[in-house]
Structure 1
Amino acid sequence: MTIQTTDTAASLAFAELDAYRELEAKQQPSWPDPAAVDAASAELAAQPPLVFAGEADLLRERLAAAARGEAFLLQGGDCAETFAAATADKIRDRVKTLLQMAVVLTYGASMPVIKVGRMAGQFAKPRSSDTETREGVALPAYRGDLVNGYDFTAESRTADPHRLVQGYHVSASTLNLIRAFTRGGFADLRQVHEWNKGFVSNPANQRYESLAAEIDRALRFMEACGVESAALTQTEFYVSHEALLLDYERPLTRVDSRTGQLYNTSGHMLWIGERTRDLDGAHVEFLSHVRNPIGVKLGPTASVDDALRLIDKLDPEREPGRLTFITRMGAGRIRDVLPGLLAGVRDAGATPLWVTDPMHGNGITTATGYKTRRFDDVMDELRGFFESHREAGTFPGGIHVELTGDDVTECLGGSENIDEAALETRYESLCDPRLNHRQSLELAFQVAEELKRIAR
């Protein structure tokens, strides 16, 4: 009888979830072979979960603390992961960069920093056009390795459902390595700080030397006191991605045997992009039925009504940690738009976690055709985010950044003074430009200075 009841409950839960199939799903590929998609979905549905319900629940608790002003979220990673770049060295360097940033932010905020990577699933990307044209030849746009290839050939750009299964296996190996790094001593706080000392020793970064010295004294104090705990040598690390490709997300959604509730086991935290946050669209409907922490990107056109309706749909119980709003306003708009949005949601009695994405609203294209961002614009939007929260009396709960652990040249400026001529030397992103390792650390030190003002 128990099994029958559980099966019935699961069937009802999936029936409610599948209401999304009747709604418009934007930014989905045109699969040439529906039977192959069904076969890939069936194979995914038979695979073990990539993450577990208990992990997602723990992250929701951590994010609830951030929403109350008791923690800070650091979310970062690749614009679009690629299968080829899922090597041990590149995964290690991305994790290392986030750990280095987290140490600085933890000291600046005087509170825990929640580490969430845009990793182990960020393989699909929305596009502004379904096609790309080069020299008079039009082919399907590159939608990420989960869908098609980057090479500009008809064969490469044809959507291939076998990539869905490949993406799962690459995500599984990435997660395996992340867990080894963060639990096996690589995340030792003292070692991470030593890496940061190397960064501030560069004359271009000496403005951050005093903050690094403060962190050094704090660590030496703990060492002198004989403080030894797993918190110094291990860390929690979660993964997230945009839940864009529903043919990938649906078969990885499972019923938790403890509670009978649905969890998307493709990642701990999933977010809905600016292009797919329609209240009556498939993405919002789909994620409204899973228990994972959910994020929603809000651009400069977002209204208070938009935000409140999204809260009603995605977080009707007003559960702390359930919903994160990730604002992407642009440096020139954030101070005009965000304060009113924060005040309107605050006055309605809702307390989502507010996070800034200072990257996506500041894109430019150079005369030579490179998509890039100016580091100064990124920092200006970050400062606008903190200023807006001071004005509204709300808590600036985190940052969401596209970055890499490599020394690429994709964003202009920073202490390295990357100029337009330098972009072509190491521009490796297949979609949007990312902060390199040094720019990411520079951003962390500047954000830490903002957080210290709040902590006083």
Structure 2
Amino acid sequence: MTETPVHRESLPTLLSGAAATSASHPELDNWRSLPISQQPTWRNDPGYDAAIAELSMVPPLVFAGEVDVLRSRLAEAAQGRAFLLQGGDCAETFEAATADKISARVRTLLQMAVVLTYGASVPVIKMGRMAGQFAKPRSSNDETRNGVTLPAYRGDMVNGFDFTPESRRHDPARMVRAYHTSASTLNLIRAFTQGGFADLRLVHHWNKGFTSNPSHSRYESLAREIDRAVRFMDACGADFEALKRVEFFASHEALLLDYERALTRVDSRTGQPYDTSGHFLWIGERTRDLDSAHVDFLSRVRNPIGVKLGPTTSAEDALALIDRLDPNREPGRLTFITRMGARNIREKLPSLVEKVTASGAQVLWVTDPMHGNTVTSPNGYKTRNFDDVMDEVRGFFEVHDSLGTFPGGLHVEMTGDDVAECLGGADPVDQEAFVEGYESVCDPRLNHMQSLEMAFLVAGALSRRS
């Protein structure tokens, strides 16, 4: 990882009101003097100070009490009594933050969760890569097309996708737009998950539509089992009114520390700092260096946090990250999201799990089967093969089964729409479909049907463990 030392001055005096709320936590700004990578070049932009000032004064997007609830739920998962389902866009866009697209993503996650709950026989924690996933790390700072070189697209929070100098400029005002788009997204999510949209019977009815497709007939028996369970609950007088509402949490990669720091607030109940941009935040594979700004900043907030671990991660790396991010060994505090690739998962994961478990740390183990399986199709599209994705999931379960540890969750890039971005599946997508159906501005996502197929396959693996 290439690191660029960045030394920032103190925020301007017009932030004094917000700064006063964290006056007792000066360590929150320690990251400013540490090596940092994957950051925009906007510090000297005339609009930078105004954007930071506004973000420092706006209401929180999430609340400390909600964050505490999630931490307790993740503690249950770390101890094998719950399962985490985390999914959503690779990179959210402002344009796609519509009611239809948000509801489609929420609906797909709810459908997956019902199937996984039945398979695992434990509660499923529902978490979206939503309401904040507007920035992405990139392998190169620049992009060249037809001899023209411009800054790489880093997500709508930083610049635009259009290949023009105006669009690709790093614009700090986009952080403010990302905040407001996240707020409206969270408002819709709360309405959907608390207003009857999440009714168990309705979600199960949607899944019947999935299994009625002849391509998915292999999943009919599991769907029938779920149907019998729902009817049994109904006959027993289950409180379906209570089952119309579900907890739903928001997460994103905490990549842009200008944004994350500006939205950090000190909880009046406890005096502890919370990053109120999301309930759950994670550090990416490219920014997890032990002495980096990202690790330092997230070590100081009370949110539950995740770290992506790729195939080069050593057991020593993992243990050192635990010492920095979870020194008190608090269940629910730290999640390791492994992204090894199907070819590496069975070889690379066991030593990590063995040595972390032997240390006494209670981390939550989650698989990200997407990022280690990215390839380029013959017609030039970045894609993933559904069979490879599922092979990594199977490998993840096999490793934990062999070690007697708990495979605690699934982290996927997916959408509720019928896009064509990942190859294969029971109702297969081929590369010719990319021409009309490829919509992602960054990485390929599972479409609605592929996401549900994954849920049925994982539910089968979970049910065999119980």
TM-score range, shorter chain: over 0.9
The aligned counterpart of 1:109 is 120
Structure 2: how far apart are the matches of 1:369 and 1:160? 30
1:16-95 correspondence to structure 2 within 5 Å:
16-31=27-42, 33-95=44-106
- Residues 32 and 159 of structure 1 are in contact (CA less than 8 Å); yes or no, is this contact kept in structure 2? no
- Residues 36 and 294 of structure 2 are in contact (CA less than 8 Å); yes or no, is this contact kept in structure 1? yes
- Residues 249 and 264 of structure 1 are in contact (CA less than 8 Å); yes or no, is this contact kept in structure 2? yes
Deviation at 1:32, TM superposition (A): 6.6
Residues 18 and 207 of structure 1: CA distance in aligned 2, closer, same or farther (over 3 Å):
same
Q: Residue 436 of structure 2 aligns to a residue in which SS?
A: coil
Structure 1: how far apart are the matches of 2:45 and 2:314? 38
- Residues 250 and 280 of structure 2 are in contact (CA less than 8 Å); yes or no, is this contact kept in structure 1? yes
Q: Residue 187 of structure 1 aligns to a residue in which SS?
A: coil
1:433 to 437, 444, 457: 444
Q: Residue 41 of structure 2 aligns to a residue in which SS?
A: coil
Residues 431 and 8 of structure 1: CA distance in aligned 2, closer, same or farther (over 3 Å):
closer
Q: Residue 127 of structure 1 aligns to a residue in which SS?
A: coil
The aligned counterpart of 2:427 is 416
2:248 to 237, 240, 252: 237
Structure 2: how far apart are the matches of 1:230 and 1:38? 48
Deviation at 1:33, TM superposition (A): 3.5
2:132 to 121, 127, 152: 121
Structure 1: how far apart are the matches of 2:326 and 2:314? 17
The aligned counterpart of 1:346 is 357
TM-score calculated relative to the size of structure 2: 0.95
RMSD: 1.1
The aligned counterpart of 2:394 is 383
Structure 2: how far apart are the matches of 1:47 and 1:375? 41
The aligned counterpart of 1:3 is none
1:331 aligns with 2:342: yes
The aligned counterpart of 2:292 is 281
1:10 aligns with 2:28: no
1:183 aligns with 2:194: yes
Residues 164 and 375 of structure 1: CA distance in aligned 2, closer, same or farther (over 3 Å):
same
Unaligned runs of 5+ in 1: 1-6
1:133 to 133, 139, 144: 144
- Residues 63 and 276 of structure 2 are in contact (CA less than 8 Å); yes or no, is this contact kept in structure 1? yes
The aligned counterpart of 1:254 is 265
2:377 to 351, 366, 372: 366
- Residues 21 and 266 of structure 2 are in contact (CA less than 8 Å); yes or no, is this contact kept in structure 1? no
Residue identity (%) = 71
Q: Residue 94 of structure 1 aligns to a residue in which SS?
A: helix
- Residues 91 and 178 of structure 1 are in contact (CA less than 8 Å); yes or no, is this contact kept in structure 2? yes
The aligned counterpart of 1:4 is none
Unaligned runs of 5+ in 2: 1-18
Structure 2: how far apart are the matches of 1:84 and 1:286? 30
Structure 2: how far apart are the matches of 1:370 and 1:433? 9
Q: Which amino acid aligns with 2:422?
A: C
The aligned counterpart of 2:184 is 173
Structure 2: how far apart are the matches of 1:252 and 1:209? 46
- Residues 72 and 397 of structure 1 are in contact (CA less than 8 Å); yes or no, is this contact kept in structure 2? yes
Kindly tell me the number of residue pairs found equivalent between the two proteins. 448
Q: Which amino acid aligns with 2:162?
A: D
TM-score calculated relative to the size of structure 1: 0.97
Q: Summarize deviations over 1:331-379 as a string: whole Å, max 9, x none.
A: 0000000011100111111110000000000000012210000000000
Q: Which amino acid aligns with 2:460?
A: E
Structure 1: how far apart are the matches of 2:182 and 2:228? 39
Q: Residue 75 of structure 1 aligns to a residue in which SS?
A: strand
Residues 32 and 245 of structure 1: CA distance in aligned 2, closer, same or farther (over 3 Å):
closer
Q: Summarize deviations over 1:32-73 as a string: whole Å, max 9, x none.
A: 744421110000011000000000000000000000000000
Deviation at 1:277, TM superposition (A): 0.2
1:148 aligns with 2:159: yes
Q: Which amino acid aligns with 2:156?
A: D
Deviation at 1:230, TM superposition (A): 4.4
- Residues 199 and 240 of structure 2 are in contact (CA less than 8 Å); yes or no, is this contact kept in structure 1? no
Q: Which runs of 4+ in 1 moved over 2 A?
A: 7-10, 32-35
Deviation at 1:424, TM superposition (A): 1.5
Structure 2: how far apart are the matches of 1:384 and 1:258? 43
Q: Residue 85 of structure 2 aligns to a residue in which SS?
A: strand
Q: Which amino acid aligns with 1:109?
A: A
Structure 1: how far apart are the matches of 2:426 and 2:61? 38
